[in-house]
Amino acid sequence: MKLTVIGGGSTYTPELIDGFSRLRELLPIEELWLVDPDEHRLELVSGVSRRMFARAGHPGKIVASSDVVAGVSDADVVLLQLRIGGQAARKGDETWPHACGCIGQETTGPGGFAKALRTVPVVLEYAELVRRHAKKDAWIIDFTNPVGIVTRALLSAGHRAIGLCNVAIGFQRRFAGMLDVDWKRVQLDHVGLNHLTWVRGASVDGKDRFSELFEAHLAELASEVELPEGLLRLLGNVPSYYLRYYYAHDEVLREQLGSPTRAEEVMAIEHALLEKYADPSVDTKPEELEKRGGAYYSEAAVDLIASLRSNRGDVQVVNLLNNGRLPFLPDDHVIEVPATVDATGVHALPVDPLPDDMAGLVEHVAGYERLALDAAVHGGRDRVLRALLAHPLVGQYDRAEKLTDLLIAENAQHLAWA
Ligand code: G6P
Ligand code: MN
Ligand code: MN
């Protein structure tokens, strides 16, 4: 099997290599292509990746290339993990919305919208190359944020794509630890849109264990998602920490105004990581990688690809077409829910109805996401303005106008139409 990682020069890549090494029985990779325009990074990252494979006795060959066509040619699976504009653009996303009293975040709110605008056209371009040059039945696995919007862009253009995020496996593992069982036995009732999800149920071998877990670990769960226990109790579920940007918007904004951005923290982590990758004696995943939000995303990737290729039919949380699961959303919207995974793809399990408050927020954000994709594909100030106005964290016309001007000024070099 040939697996290609677009954005393979990312400092995250050794996370993937670690997963591919540990789980190599599940996923026999013959060729792993790391494709990236940044040749310096690519050299360091592919170097440590090869040493990691050698140490693990992984027989796969690692090829580093800046040529996307060569990279995707005859690939079986293409993983997208790119970041247009790098951490510098992310730092912008995390700061310019502050001028309008909005939180700055790389996937949520105005910053996440800017990321979508920069990213969607590039992803669609690469996906066309996959369509033309990869194996006919190749899968595109998208980790590139904002995953909901990017996955919908790919599916709308007719690509064989699945969106993936590590929030659900994070909860699955935490819950497993709390219940003292192997994580594979835990199934979540996880529902919503990417980075707008709630966990409202958990079972072990099919037996409901959620209320027990919720009662015994409420304080711990609340502190992990940095939301008040009272809120979790009121909702009767565990919102992901991305819901904090909604439920505690003003508090987050105050915190952000007094601290460095996450982009700056990540730049420092990346600096330390690259130094390690450059050291020829390093042949394992450095512990600094645990400080990244995407820790263990490799396991989600390995599990998904393994099930697609071996027809396992197990249940995993993925981003896929709604097709009536949330009846208040269009069929062609992308939602994040548990699905069975087999060789034909992903098939969402039935979803219990959402209460009005959660349904209302999901519907509101979905409306924004649709306008956001329209703006990303077709460009233009009015489309940007309309999407911003539709976002529940923006909502007011004067604010949306000001944000539109800031967004376009900050991102002009990445927007073909601006
Ligand atoms: C979580 C999210 C990812 C996101 C990451 C950010 O893992 O699910 O979608 O990219 O956090 O982590 P970072 O270390 O870049 O802040
Ligand atoms: Mn994510
Ligand atoms: Mn609303």
Distance, in Å, from the CA atom of 297 to the CA atom of 17, rounded to the nearest integer, reads: 11
Q: What integer pLDDT is reported at residue 337 of this predicted model?
A: 98
Ligand index nearest the alpha carbon of residue 394 = 3
Does the active-site annotation cover 297?
Answer: no
ipTM: 0.94
Atom of ligand 1 nearest to the CA of 292: 14
Other beta carbons less than 10 A from residue 211's beta carbon: 11
Q: What is the pTM of this model?
A: 0.98
260 lines ligand 1 (CB under 6 A): no
Q: Token digits for 411?
A: 């991102």
Question: How many angstroms separate the alpha carbon of residue 356 from the centre of ligand 1?
Answer: 29
Question: How many angstroms separate the alpha carbon of residue 145 from the centre of ligand 2?
Answer: 7
Question: Count of H helices and E strands in the chain?
Answer: 16, 13
Most informative mutation of 83, 166, 297, 317 for ligand 1 (most atoms within 8 A of CB): 166
Q: What integer pLDDT is reported at residue 299 of this predicted model?
A: 87
- 104: CB partners within 8 A, 6+ apart: 93, 94, 95, 96, 97, 98, 110, 111, 256, 261
Q: What integer pLDDT is reported at residue 122 of this predicted model?
A: 98
Q: Identify the CA nearest to 82 among candidates 131, 134, 118.
A: 118
For the chain (length 418 residues), average pLDDT per consecutive 10?
98 95 92 97 98 97 98 98 97 98 98 98 98 98 98 98 97 97 97 98 97 97 98 98 98 97 97 97 94 87 93 95 98 98 97 98 98 98 98 98 98 96
Distance, in Å, from the CA atom of 235 to the CA atom of 358, rounded to the nearest integer, reads: 9
Distance, in Å, from the CA atom of 375 to the CA atom of 385, rounded to the nearest integer, reads: 9
Question: How many angstroms separate the alpha carbon of residue 297 from the centre of ligand 2?
Answer: 9
- 216: CB partners within 8 A, 6+ apart: 178
| Active-site choice (12, 126, 241, 242) | 242
Distance, in Å, from the CA atom of 313 to the CA atom of 323, rounded to the nearest integer, reads: 19
Q: Report the nearest-CA residue for atom 3 of ligand 1.
A: 294
90 lines ligand 1 (CB under 6 A): no
145 lines ligand 1 (CB under 6 A): yes
Question: How many angstroms separate the alpha carbon of residue 57 from the centre of ligand 2?
Answer: 30
Query: Residue 398, CB half-sphere, CA atoms under 13 Å: how many?
Result: 3
Q: What integer pLDDT is reported at residue 295 of this predicted model?
A: 76
Residue type at 139 in one-letter notation? W
Q: Identify the CA nearest to 100 among candidates 113, 88, 87, 89.
A: 113
Q: Identify the CA nearest to 314 among candidates 343, 345, 350, 339.
A: 339
